[in-house]
Structure 1
Amino acid sequence: MPDSTPEPGTVSDLEKNRILRRIRELEIREPQERERRVRERPEMSWKIQPQGSSSTALLHRGGCATYPDQVGLISREDAMVALAQPDIEPCGVCRPETGLRG
């Protein structure tokens, strides 16, 4: 009866299948992770709506739909500085100040 043990340096069919399955999982997961990071970025950022002729400047969370502009997202630290300015108020809808505590 022939020995079914693979020779040293070779990979068994079972191990090949495990490797291929793992590669497929990673190929599926990678674009999903990339999309998740893209969606999360605005939620971890803030943005400033410039002052209008009859309104004050507003600080929003990055994903706030009341000011959908995604250009010029700012960091948490910059948002804290902006909120401390007397001429910038927090958005009453997305309440960006809650993400700046702690």
Structure 2
Amino acid sequence: MTVADLTLVLGALASPQRLRVLAELGRESVHVSELARRVGMSRPLLYGHLTRLEQAGLVVGHHSVSPDGKALRHFEVVPFDLHVTPATVARAVAESPEEGS
């Protein structure tokens, strides 16, 4: 993991709203409109948070079609196990010396 990878993931997790989104998606895959209702957020704001989580590799989105023909975008959590220790940070810096200076 590089410094850029580590900061991308940590930055995505450094938001109470994104943590709520991850917690909800950890229960089940759900389409954006339903997810917005569950977390009490507008869809445009939710899409911003989902984009940040997707860029960090923490969630993945896919399209589907509802029985009535509407296009739906579903998201689900990508399983992850993150352990940040001084050694993790040192390895990231060692693998990315240009980013660590």
**TM-score under structure 1 length normalisation:** 0.25
Which structure has more strand as a fraction of its residues? 2
Higher relative contact order (CA 8 A, sep 6+): 2
Q: Which has the larger radius of gyration?
A: 1
Using structure 2 for the length normalisation, give the TM-score.
0.26
* Structure with greater proportional helix content: 2
